[in-house]
Amino acid sequence: MTQAEKLLALHTKYAEYNTCELKNTATQAVFGSGNPSAEIVFIGEAPGKKEDETGVPFVGAAGKFLDEMLSRANLKREDIYITNIVKYRPEGNRDPTPEEIAACESWLHEEISTIKPKVIVTLGRYSLNHFIPDVKISEVHGKAFRRNIQGLGEYVFFALYHPAAALYNGSMRETLIEDFLKVPKLVKQTKKDS
- Say how many C-beta atoms besides its own lie within 10 A of residue 56's C-beta: 16
- Say how many C-beta atoms besides its own lie within 10 A of residue 76's C-beta: 12
| Of 179, 72, 64, the residue nearest 121 (C-alpha) | 179
d(CA 186, CA 157): 10
pLDDT in tens, 99-153: 999 999 999 999 999 999 999 999 999 999 999 998 999 999 999 999 999 889 9
- Confirm if 83 and 41 have CB atoms less than 8 A apart: yes
Assign a CATH topology to domain 3-188: Uracil-DNA Glycosylase, subunit E (3.40.470)
Whether the predicted model's global pTM rises above the 0.75 cut? yes
- Say how many C-beta atoms besides its own lie within 10 A of residue 14's C-beta: 19
Q: Tell me whether strands 153-160 and 144-149 are parallel, antiparallel or unpaired.
A: antiparallel
Predicted pLDDT of residue 178: 94
Question: How far apart, in Å, are the Cα atoms of 31 and each of 14, 51, 96, 100, 104?
Answer: 10, 10, 17, 16, 11
Q: Check whether 194 has a pLDDT greater than 80.
A: no
Task: Give the full edge-to-edge strand order of the sheet including 153-160.
Answer: 33-34, 81-84, 40-44, 119-123, 153-160, 144-149
pLDDT in tens, 49-85: 999 999 999 999 999 999 999 999 999 999 999 999 9
